[in-house]
Amino acid sequence: MVELPKGNARLTEVFINGDARSIRDLKGEYYVDILTGLPSIRKLNHRKKITLDRTGHSGYNTVFKKKKVFGHFKVEPDTCKELEDLKVIKLDYHVPENSFIMNRMIDRIRCIKRRKLYLGRYYLRLFGRHRFMGYFTLEKIPPGDE
């Protein structure tokens, strides 16, 4: 795995220097590791599963070995306005399967290492605006380990 710096300011530099590669590269299962803000639940086997079907990209989060599903999302291109309209891939949790709280979340991600590692910023919508909460990584799980 790529060694990432500590702290939001240095992670912002890495995020800006990343790439908003084609969404088509983003599929499969990924380990999630929350780097700043909230505590990481990687020890609980936190993962994101992303699929592509005829309607587009979508996905969900899981925890535990038995893969308890939570936090469904749709995947689409977007921009990160607070970083000068930087192109990103957005994971939008505002879908019918989610609770009131999960519906308020979005993630914006950029590729750090093609098809292997993504750096994401997670947000919570409060008072009509998405507020930046911290950074996380998505690390591709090799086939057979899923």
Q: Does residue 1 register a pLDDT over 60?
A: no
Give the chain's end-to-end CA distance (angstroms, integer). 17
Q: Decide if 74 contacts 56 (C-beta within 8 A).
A: yes
Give domain status of residue 121, yes or no: no
**Of 17-21, 105-109, 129-133, where does mean pLDDT reach its minimum?**
17-21
Cα–Cα dist 94/72, whole Å: 8
Element (DSSP H or E) covering residue 9:
helix 8-17
Give domain status of residue 13, yes or no: yes
Tens of pLDDT, residue by residue over 46-90, are 999 999 888 889 999 999 987 899 999 999 999 999 999 999 999
Q: What proportion of the chain, given as a percentage, has pLDDT over 70?
A: 97
Tens of pLDDT, residue by residue over 79-118, are 999 999 999 999 999 999 999 999 999 999 999 998 899 9
Q: Which of the pair, 91 or 38, is modelled with greater confidence?
A: 91
Give the tokens for residue 86.
Answer: 């930087």
Number of structural domains (the chain) is 1
Domain span holding position 38: 8-116+133-140
Give domain status of residue 128, yes or no: no
Give domain status of residue 86, yes or no: yes
pTM of the model: 0.91
